[in-house]
Amino acid sequence: MKKHALVNLDYKHQGWASLSVACLRLPDGKLIYREIEDHGSAVAVLPYDAQRKTVVLVEQFRPAPFISDGQEKTLEAVAGILDEADCAAAARREAMEEAGLQLGKLEYVATTWTMPGISTEKLTLYLAPYAATDRVAAGGGLDAEDENIRVVEMSAADFAALMAAGDLVDMKTLALAQALQLRHPEIYA
């Protein structure tokens, strides 16, 4: 059985993300060309407090939704690029940087391709229990990254209402909301 083969990878741009055009040989011998975006892999975590029935999200400006739809801010799970090999360590780092939360236990949900048609990004998703005492810093992201993040703690009931209304516009956040609903339905009660 013949397999797919990479014939050539022509880099067009290398910055925070690299953009390239791949020439690929299909099993039948035909050549195809596809654009590829690569910025590395990432992690996302949804902190939840089962006792107080709350979740922590972050709100921030994202250029792509702004350019596409004029959307000023997105409400998302804590997330970031994987700078180290340990996904759990990266999730804890991002929770501290973005939300000021010192997380302990992480509940692995999945590792998924975010946009397999164009991007090499794999996203590892976690749920994480937290308590009010775990908020040890302001969060808000790193000044050097110009993130201007606002930390949003909301009731799980309000979060569920956003999900039910189709108002969670970020896919990772929607996936984590559904994972929380499946694994810990009592938080929404």
Query: Is 98 assigned to a binding site?
Result: yes
Please check if 84 is assigned to a binding site: no
User: Does 147 show up as a binding residue in the annotation?
Assistant: yes
The size of the chain, in residues, is 189
Mean pLDDT over all residues of the chain? 93
Q: Which helix (H) or strand (E) holds 159?
A: helix 156-164
pLDDT (tens, 9 = 90+) of the chain, 189 residues, equals: 679 999 999 999 998 888 999 999 999 999 999 999 998 899 999 999 999 999 999 999 988 889 999 888 999 999 999 987 899 999 999 999 999 999 999 999 999 999 999 998 999 999 999 999 999 988 888 777 777 899 999 999 999 999 999 999 999 999 999 999 999 999 988
Q: Was 186 annotated as part of a binding site?
A: no
* Residue ranges in 33-152 assigned as alpha helix (H): 63-69, 87-94
